[in-house]
Structure 1
Amino acid sequence: MSHQPIKMRQFAISSGDTSLLQLHKPLWLLETRRLMRSPRNWIQWQPGVKSATMTLALKERKMSSQTIDSIVTLFQSRLTTLEHLLKLAQTHFGESESFLDQRIAADMLPFGTQIAFTCNQPRNFALWCSGKPMDNLDPQVTSVAAAYEHIANTQELLASIHAEDEKLNELVRIDLSQGRYLEMFGHAYINDFLIPNFYFHLVTAYDILRMTGVPIGKQDYMMHLVPLIQKA
């Protein structure tokens, strides 16, 4: 298995001041214990006159199978599942589109918005791969036609990606609300931000349909496994 270049995390501890040590002790202690389990990891202590720096050399590993193409495949197959769920809902409710406004709880977003937010994750992945800024969809999805269009457009964006796998090693900045932001490398951006958000909104969309009486089950959610099913 190949490994990524070593990334460095540093915790500076000033002499005579143990507050920083106490602040980071749980973190660096856990990191140290985890790192020492593998001979590939190491810890370097660099003493100074007035301060000392403990440097933990952490390897940012990735699964050897994770590539831009594999991420695209994951998103594409689950968007097909989302489209499948939408078709089942349309069949169940007929001409009525009121299910787009259904929500699990009063403080949660409605089904239509869950469609948009599910699409936002692979959409922004595709835009990032193309060197473009994030551009979320309008959260107000007022028709079934608009919901289908969001899914189709997102799949087209994914199909247009031509980025190299090295893109996953780039640093990503994600601007949040109230002047806050996140910075992480591409692999973390995919695995710790986009994919968890993607599944959160996809599952919420599923739950809303189940709650409103649409006859769906786990087999409808696990549609991506259908091509792999074999007979004994």
Structure 2
Amino acid sequence: MSLYTQSVPVLIKYLDNLSKIVQKGAAFAEEKGIKAEDVLHYRLIADQQTLIYQVRAICNSSKAAVSRLGVEAPFVEDNEQTFDDLVKRIEHAIQLLEDVDAAIVDAAVDREVIMETRMGNFYFKTGQQYISEYAIPNFHFHMSTAYCILCAQGVQLGAMDYLNNVFTKHEP
């Protein structure tokens, strides 16, 4: 299976699910008369980040995943403050991924990846290692946290919200 197939379509699918989850959070806040800011700035524990941060991290990690494999990706300002802003940010991330040239991603499968961060630079022997061992798990860490933030506030979410469109019904 190609590196592109393992990464980009998977990220798109889960970003779409995230958009629906965030929209459920917005509807919940409105229905219950809760200030949107209270939901958006909620933290599971004091030293973890807010829902806004988690959505930004998901979108940024999607963009970074393909960028580190050689895809040109524009800078996006982290300035979202509303549910609508978050949904637009997710849509932008999806569009960026939909425009990715699979050949560029696939060409990075055996190429080393250096991940430059504020904590220092990190080395991955191959693009495959980077995607499998860091990019996808990191994406899901932030997605799970966003999901849990909304659940902790009472938003009615289930596994199928997270895993929407993952299963194909099998009829024997």
- TM, length-normalised to structure 1: 0.65
**Distance between the aligned counterparts of 2:95 and 2:14, measured in 1?**
14
Instruction: Indicate the structure with greater helix content.
Output: 2
Task: Kindly provide the CA deviation profile for residues 1-38 of structure 1, in whole angstroms up to 9, marking residues without a partner as x.
Answer: xxxxxxxxxxxxxxxxxxxxxxxxxxxxxxxxxxxxxx
Structure 2: gaps (5+ residues)? none
Q: Which amino acid aligns with 1:220?
A: D
Instruction: Indicate the structure with greater strand content.
Output: 1
Bigger-Rg structure (1/2)? 1
SS in 2 for 1:102: coil
1:83 matches 2:25 = no
**Distance between the aligned counterparts of 1:82 and 1:229, measured in 2?**
22
- Report the counterpart of residue 132 of structure 2 in structure 1: 191
Tell whether the 8 Å contact from 1:130 to 1:161 is kept in structure 2 after alignment. Answer: no
SS in 2 for 1:154: helix
Task: Kindly provide the CA deviation profile for residues 68-103 of structure 1, in whole angstroms up to 9, marking residues without a partner as x.
Answer: 134111001100110110111111111732211011
Which structure's relative contact order is higher, taking Cα pairs within 8 Å and 6+ residues apart?
2
CA RMSD between the two structures: 2.1
**Distance between the aligned counterparts of 2:26 and 2:73, measured in 1?**
33
1:1-232 equivalences in 2 (<5 Å): 65-94=1-30, 96-98=35-37, 99-132=39-72, 135=75, 138=78, 141-164=80-103, 165-178=106-119, 180-184=120-124, 185-226=126-167, 228-231=168-171
Tell whether the 8 Å contact from 1:126 to 1:157 is kept in structure 2 after alignment. Answer: no
Q: Which amino acid aligns with 1:104?
A: L
Moved more, 66-75 or 188-197: 66-75
Q: Which amino acid aligns with 1:111?
A: L
SS in 1 for 2:128: helix
**Distance between the aligned counterparts of 1:155 and 1:107, measured in 2?**
29
**Distance between the aligned counterparts of 1:197 and 1:85, measured in 2?**
18
Task: Kindly provide the CA deviation profile for residues 209-229 of structure 1, in whole angstroms up to 9, marking residues without a partner as x.
Answer: 000000111121111325x12
Q: Which amino acid aligns with 2:47?
A: D
Tell whether the 8 Å contact from 2:21 to 2:147 is kept in structure 1 after alignment. Answer: yes
**Distance between the aligned counterparts of 1:131 and 1:151, measured in 2?**
18
SS in 2 for 1:155: helix
- Report the counterpart of residue 49 of structure 1 in structure 2: none
Q: Which amino acid aligns with 1:202?
A: M
Task: Kindly provide the CA deviation profile for residues 169-222 of structure 1, in whole angstroms up to 9, marking residues without a partner as x.
Answer: 2111111225x2111121111111111110000000000000000011112111
Tell whether the 8 Å contact from 1:100 to 1:111 is kept in structure 2 after alignment. Answer: yes
Tell whether the 8 Å contact from 2:73 to 2:96 is kept in structure 1 after alignment. Answer: no
- TM, length-normalised to structure 2: 0.86
Tell me the matched-pair count. 165
SS in 1 for 2:114: strand
Tell whether the 8 Å contact from 2:17 to 2:162 is kept in structure 1 after alignment. Answer: yes
